[in-house]
Amino acid sequence: MAHRLQIRLLTWDVKDTLLRLRHPVGEEYAAKGRAHGLEVEPSVLEQGFRQAYKAHSRSFPNYGLSHGLTSHQWWLDVVLQTFHLAGVRDAQAVAPIAQQLYEDFSSPCTWQVLDGAEDTLRGCRTRGLRLAVVSNFDRRLEGILAGLGLREYFDFVLTSEDAGWPKPDPRIFQEALRLAHMEPAVTAHVGDNYLCDYQGPRAVGLHSFLVVGPQALDPMVRDSVPKEHILPTLAHLLPALDRLGGSTPGL
């Protein structure tokens, strides 16, 4: 009789898999700027943020930990650079805005749970699966998840700041396996980023599922990810686990 694979641990990405921002970054930044007397178009701030975030991530990866930065300082610098790129050169005027935004993005009120997320987590727990977070995020994540009522579903929350390595670095997945006392063959990762959440865990021997939403698939993803590993919604996860294990519900 063929051996049936049993997944025992599911690790989860968070942003745009379980949670998303309630409002676009540009709108949040513009609102805080306006409250401090600065009028800047949200679209200009959105573009500035994308540039600043990309440049800062390249120069000081994983919140600049290896450069002696804290994630708090890293984010303040990103906000300052965002407003600078949007034409606001007065760093002293932006400093209190940056601090307020850091605090706002620490608050559960700034985030919302995606449709189907809690039902899926509850369904996984009902099956006896262990759950953990593996996320490229800073240490604020634990409090955000607690405030939104999701922290209770997870055995542990492992952020890239805590681990010291961001996905898709294999060491963050290996650290999750160590914390859970699990082998890769009985572990699967769920997330929305092809490189970080699909390829990264598979390189360490984990199974993985890619949450893609309703939009058209990128041709590279379509050609390289088997259909049974693609989740149009989180509601597709439990049936996908059944197919992976070749079993009926009660995995």
Confidence at residue 1, expressed as pLDDT on a 0 to 100 scale: 38
Lowest mean pLDDT among 123-127, 153-157, 213-217: 213-217
Distance CA 251, CA 111 (A): 32
What confidence category does residue 185 fall into, taking pLDDT thresholds of 50, 70 and 90? very high
Give the bridge partners for 11, in sequence order. Answer: 132, 189
At 4 the pLDDT is 57
Mean pLDDT in residue range 192-218: 93
- CB-count burial class (<10 Å; 0-12, 13-18, 19+) for 128: exposed
For 208, phi then psi, to 5°, come to: -155, 155
**Which pairs with CB-CB distance under 8 Å and at least 24 residues apart come from 52-60?**
52/78, 52/79, 52/81, 52/82, 52/84, 52/85, 53/78, 53/82, 55/81, 56/81
Report the 10 Å Cβ neighbour count for 136.
Answer: 25
pTM of the model: 0.92
Whether the CB-CB separation of 201 and 208 falls below 8 Å is answered with yes
Distance of CA 128 to the CA centre of its chain: 24
Q: Compute the distance between CA of residue 90 and CA of residue 87 in angstroms, rounded to an integer.
A: 9
Q: Do residues 151 and 129 make contact, with C-beta atoms less than 8 angstroms apart?
A: no
pLDDT bin (cut points 50, 70, 90) of residue 48 is very high
Q: At what angle do helices 42-59 and 71-85 cross, to 10 degrees?
A: 130
| Residue 249, pLDDT score | 34
- Strand ranges in the chain using DSSP code E only, listed in sequence order: 9-12, 19-21, 111-113, 130-135, 157-159, 187-191, 207-211, 230-231
Q: If you average pLDDT over residues 162-185, what whole number do you get?
A: 98
Confidence bin at 246 (pLDDT 50/70/90): low
Nearest one of 161, 103, 106 to 137, comparing CA atoms? 161
Which one, of 181, 189, 187, lies nearest residue 14 by Cα? 189
pLDDT in tens, 187-197: 999 999 999 99
In this model, does residue 174 exceed pLDDT 60?
A: yes
Whether 82 and 29 have beta carbons less than 8 Å apart is answered as yes
- Distance, CA of 163 to CA of 144 (rounded, Å): 18
Instruction: Give the sign of the dihedral formed by CA 183, CA 207, CA 5, CA 235.
Output: positive
pLDDT in tens, 21-46: 999 999 999 999 999 999 999 999 99
Q: Please report the pLDDT score of residue 189 as a whole number.
A: 98
- Is residue 235 predicted with pLDDT exceeding 80? yes
pLDDT-derived band of residue 5, with 50, 70 and 90 as boundaries? Answer: low
The pLDDT of 116-137, averaged and rounded, is 97
Q: What is the mean pLDDT of residues 155-167?
A: 98
Stretch 167-184: mean pLDDT: 98
* pLDDT beyond 50 at 248: no
At 60-77, the pLDDT tens digits run: 999 999 999 999 999 999
